[in-house]
Amino acid sequence: MITPSSAGKTTLLALVTLFIAVLDSAVGGGDGHEWGYDDHNGPKKWAGTCKSGLFQSPIDLKQSISHLRNFEPLVFFLYDKPANVTMKNNGHTLKLTFEQSCVAQMAGGGLPAAFSLAQIHFHWGSEHTLNGRRYPLEAHFVHYNHKRYDSLGAAVGKEDGLAVLGVFYEESSEEADNGIVDKLLEHLARVSDEGAEFKMTSKMRAEELFPEDIDKFFRYRGSLTTPECNEGVLWTVLEKTVPISSAQVYMIKSFPRQIFACKSSNTTSLSGFEVYLWQ
């Protein structure tokens, strides 16, 4: 029999259960992620915009189908300033956050505003491809339009909200290890467990992750490459790659599965995409 008191308890229990469920999904905790890169929860199983969106990233970038543009260069503010960096394994990727009193920004290069750097993360096996070629590593520098939105979260899904910079890392025939990648690899074991964080012992400049030449880049409007796959993201992908040694590629590939993952490029249906190549 349901009495007022037991009905109240039932409602309270339901609310508590709902609260735990919401908290769980918000932090990606629980006994497994709702999404991942395995067969049962990988990109082919992602729902919503990930499945139905018309402008889903990543894509295969090709010079031959890009519209050539020759505008002002990209400008980076405070990317050259040494900052304390925290590495984190968030269960999906290796994420770097920079502690700076003034936040680094990306502007110019045809972008409609200056965008603030929120975080940098990596995909082990590049997500974008260049003329069909996949590189061993791709870094994503995630920026948001700070003049219009208070936070990265508030900017997600807005037409003018997010600008992401993609940088490819390419296996080089020269044996020299890339210094900054070495620095990351050196500490990666400390964050092999999901949720683990490590504050790097020496400061780092965000521009250290760039190739020498940043003059040429692809620009198109696409999406986030992880659920909810929100569209409206302004992508800038540098054409030049950063060389890394074969030993570094080997080390990258030996790290845990959950941070060795990517969404495959959309190579079949690029109709509707406007891809520009700045040069």
Q: Which of 93, 97, 140, 143 is catalytic?
A: 140
Under rule CB under 5 A, residue 263 binds Zn ion = no
Adjacent-strand bridge partners of 73:
none
Write down the least CB distance from residue 68 to Zn ion, Å. Answer: 26
Whether 127 is catalytic is yes
Q: What angle do CA 238, 241, 246 make, to 5 degrees?
A: 155
Q: Which is nearer to Zn ion, 61 or 245 (CB)?
A: 61
Stretch that binds Zn ion, among 54-62, 101-109, 138-146, 149-157 (CB under 5 A): 138-146
92: annotated active-site residue: yes
| Residue 277, strand partner residues | 68, 218
Q: Annotated catalytic, 121? A: yes
Nearer to Zn ion, 234 or 245 (CB): 234
- Does position 95 interact with Zn ion (CB under 5 A)? The reply is no
Choices 30-38, 45-53, 132-140, 205-213 (CB under 5 A): range interacting with Zn ion: 132-140
Shortest distance, CB of residue 70 to Zn ion, whole angstroms?
28
Annotated catalytic residue within 49, 97, 123, 129: 123
The alpha carbon of residue 184 and the mean position of all alpha carbons in its chain are separated, in whole angstroms, by: 16
Task: Give residues with Cβ within 8 angstroms of 222, minimum separation 6.
Answer: 55, 56, 57, 58, 59, 231, 233, 235, 273
Closest separation between CB of residue 72 and Zn ion, Å?
A: 26
Determine which one of 97, 127, 129, 231 is catalytic: 127
Q: How many residues bind Zn ion (CB under 5 A)?
A: 1
Lay out the site mask for Zn ion across 16-55 (x = CB under 5 A, - = otherwise): ----------------------------------------
When CB distances to Zn ion are compared, the closest residue is: 140
Which pair of structure tokens corresponds to residue 169? Answer: 């890392």
Query: Cβ atoms within 10 A of the Cβ of 224, count?
Result: 23
Residue 140 makes contact with Zn ion by CB under 5 A: yes
The least distance separating Zn ion from the CB of residue 137, rounded to whole angstroms, comes to 12
Residue 225: active-site member:
yes
Binding site for Zn ion (CB under 5 A): 140
Residues annotated as catalytic (active site), given as ranges:
92, 121, 123, 127, 140, 225
